[in-house]
Structure 1
Amino acid sequence: MSALSDPSRYEEVLVSPMYLAGSNGAGDAGFAPVAHWPHHYLNDGPCQLLVTSPDQRIRIGWFGDDFELWRITAAEEAVDAPRWTATFNHVTPAEIVAGLTTALAQDYAASDPYENSGRFLADPSGYWTDALQPLLDAGWRREPAMHGTVNVRAPDGQAGVLIRHPRWGDETVTFWAGPRGWGTRAEAVFTARTPSHLIAATAAVMAGSAPVVRERHMVHREVEHLVTLTPVAPTAAPPVPRAPTPLDVRRTAVAEAVRRAARAPRTAADLRVMAAQSRTTSSTQKRSPVPASAAAARPAAVPSARRHSR
């Protein structure tokens, strides 16, 4: 049997750690937090789907055929150049993207629609730990790095974050997971002015321990030995109702006939018959002898004193 024809390839499994699960080929999880925002389908361009905030200051683009699968931006005005940009490549699990889109949806909901403001436009913190605190709390550790950079790595060594000083370029925060390679390494890049709390929201998802569901073939063969795959237990099918037998049908019909008869109104003839039956039963009970048990229970007659005196 060839690998392509193996039915187990399409078996659903739970993949842990989640950051090594790869993409499932759809962006549903990443778009779910903003499902209520306007959707623009651009099938003729590289960006196939564009989801925007109602005022179009936040834009979430899906580039289905590109290496950079996601491109997310925010601007002070819809027509302004982006204040910051976040990109996620084609290997990045959409669940990680959802960490960012969830935070954006919350920020936009709390913003003033009449002012060009919002927490999603806040200046980043001067402390790199504010952006990566969820990872540090989960046991990720800072490792030695070149001057002007910060390198944080997961306990299993298979994921990390690299922070570059802004003067080295605009791509200042890079999340990565998996071995180097086009189909094995997930990458997310945040530009210099990305608010720290949005990076932290993405980091919180990477730090999580919950597995994600994938079909077995979606996990790259060079990553399989680095993850734990647990088959998803199939959902028990509801019991199939048994077809009624002829005896069941007859019993049901009889029971229904009895119920109808009990609920049917009594006619005058019925009432006369019931009264006659009642009188007959009553007279029979009056003529019936006393039961032996009742007779035995009666006290014995006591002889009179006059008889004893003779």
Structure 2
Amino acid sequence: MRTSDDPSLYEEILVSPMYLAGSGSSGDAGFAPVSHWPHHYLDDGPCQLVVTSPDRRIQIGWFGDDFELWKITAAQEAVAPPHWTATFNHVTPPEIVAGLTTALAQDYAASDPYENNGRFLTNPSTYWADAVRPLTDAGWKQDGGAELGTVEIIAPDGQAGVLINNRRSGWDDETFTLWAGPRGWGTRAEATFTARTPSHLIAATAAVMASSAPVLRERHMIHHEVEHLVTLTPVAQAVTVAPAAEPSVSRAPTPLDVRRTAVTQAVHRAARAPRTAADLRVMAAQSRSSSAAQYRPGSLAPAAAARPSANSSTPRRSR
């Protein structure tokens, strides 16, 4: 059993499948696609940071201390009620959030803000399969035991899935829930989407869940109840076993290279910016890089088409 001062707790590891990697105590990956959008720091409220599109029709809120860590909305106008809402809980890997924020950034760049249009406001497909096609294409299968009026599609390892509630009664009802991990406050990742969320945005989020690419974490970030369900590869080992590059050929950056570059850039940003809650996370990262044995606290604080069933009213079940 490891103790809190065990240096191996802070060993950098590659985690697969990604959807069981947890949040990593940082939302950087989820905010990266919209890093050029306006940032609004709200240190006195439960929502600590809001990143908005330039016209504020898209809002990405970070609730650093709440169960629902992310709340993302889109509206016809900046002061209008949300057309749709997506939420991601505190266990959801920010790389999954980035699937949605990347698609939103692309949609907004192609929109005309003066016309109040944009693909991020289009109506969803009438076929639920369009929203989850990346999962079914990756071999996820429909579970025959789902409740009446719902559809559930499960990953091959049985540790993730999507629940589709076809018995909605209103536009603000949650109709799609992506989940991963065993039941429990600290182990179950959940992402929910309300009824009017465009299908391609759900699909963009699902596509990240279907990816086989591992993600970088520190060992202590993996919940002990999930550790036996994932493959953990120390970054140092991954770098050691990788074939050496020829001197005359430029090599692709290793995960360790990417990590070091990200920390260096974050430290430089912190030096130029006010000391916000986000900056405290950067300072912690800087101190961690100086000594692997030093205690490092958590930081701030994210298949063919089938027709929906027409007759339903059972609420969504939680796995």
TM-score scaled by length of structure 1: 0.74
The answer to whether 1:55 aligns with 2:52 is: no
User: In the alignment, which residue of structure 1 is the partner of 2:104?
Assistant: 104
What is the identity, as a one-letter code, of the residue corresponding to 2:228? H
- 2:165 corresponds in structure 1 to 164
Distance 2:128 2:211 in 1: 20
What residue is the counterpart of 2:222 in the other structure?
219
Q: Secondary structure at the match of 1:102?
A: helix
Structure 2 counterpart of 1:229: 232
Please give the secondary structure, in 1, of the residue aligned with 2:236.
coil
C-alpha deviation, 1:33, in angstroms: 0.2
Change (3 A) 1:131 1:67: same
Whether the 8 Å contact between 2:149 and 2:167 is mirrored in structure 1 is no
- The structure whose residues are more often helix, as a share, is 1
Residues 270-297 of structure 1: CA distance to partner in whole angstroms, max 9, x if unpaired?
xxxxxxxxxxxxxxxxxxxxxxxxxxxx
Alignment of 1:234-273 (within 5 A): none
CA contact (8 A) 1:30 1:97 kept: yes
Partner residue, 1:185 = 188
Secondary structure of the 1:233 match is helix
The residue number in structure 2 matching 1:118 is: 118
Instruction: Give yes or no for contact 2:150–2:167 (8 Å, CA) kept in 1.
Output: no
- Identical counterparts, % of pairs: 78
Letter of the 2:19 partner, please give it.
Y
Q: 2:152 corresponds to which letter in structure 1?
A: N
Gaps of 5+ in 2: 241-319
Unaligned runs of 5+ in 1: 237-310
Q: Which residue of 1 aligns with 2:275?
A: none
Alpha-carbon shift at residue 167 of structure 1 (Å): 2.7
**Residue of structure 1 equivalent to 2:245:** none
**Higher Cα Rg, which structure:** 1
Distance 1:13 1:167 in 2: 41
Secondary structure at 1:79 match in 2: coil
Mapped partners of 1:133, 1:163: distance in 2 = 13
Deviations 1:168-214 (A, max 9, x none): 56011000000000000000000000000000000000000000000
Measured in 2, the distance between the counterparts of 1:2 and 1:178 equals 23
Amino acid corresponding to residue 228 of structure 1 in structure 2: T
Number of equivalenced pairs: 236
Task: Flag as ranges the 4+ runs of structure 1 deviating above 3 A.
Answer: none
**Cα deviations by residue, 1:21-60 (Å, 9 ceiling, x for unpaired):** 0011110000000000000000000000000000000000
Question: Structure 1 CA distance, aligned partners of 2:148 and 2:118?
Answer: 34
Residues of 1 paired with 2:92 and 2:44: CA distance?
24
Q: CA deviation at 1:166?
A: 4.4
The answer for the alignment partner of 1:281 in structure 2 is: none
1:2 Cα offset (Å) = 5.5
Query: C-alpha deviations, 1:236-267, integer Å up to 9, x for none?
Result: 9xxxxxxxxxxxxxxxxxxxxxxxxxxxxxxx
Deviations 1:102-150 (A, max 9, x none): 0000000000121011000000000011000000010000111222111
Aligned to 2:152: 151
CA distance 1:8–1:127, change in 2 (3 Å): same
Query: 2: CA distance between counterparts of 1:77 and 1:168?
Result: 25
Distance, in Å, in 2 between the alignment partners of 1:181 and 1:166 is 25
> Which residue in the other structure is 1:33 paired with?
33
* Alignment deviations for residues 64-92 of structure 1 (CA, whole Å, 9 cap, x no partner): 00000000000000000000000000000
**Distance in 2 of aligned mates of 1:80 and 1:166:** 26
The answer for the alignment partner of 2:264 in structure 1 is none
The RMSD of aligned alpha carbons is 1.3
What SS does the aligned partner of 1:114 have?
helix
Asked if structure 2 preserves the Cα contact closer than 8 Å seen for 1:166 and 1:192, the reply is no
Output the CA distance in 2 between the equivalents of 1:79 and 1:153. Answer: 38
CA distance in 1, matches of 2:219, 2:107: 36
TM-score w.r.t. structure 2 length? Answer: 0.72
Displacement of 1:61: 0.2
Counterpart CA distance in 1 for 2:167 and 2:50 is: 29
Alignment correspondent of 1:301: none
Using the alignment, how far apart are the partners of 2:215 and 2:134 within structure 1? 19
Structure 2 partner of 1:66: 66
Aligned with 1:105: secondary structure? helix
Alignment correspondent of 2:95: 95
SS at match of 1:22: coil
2:209 to 189, 206, 209: 206
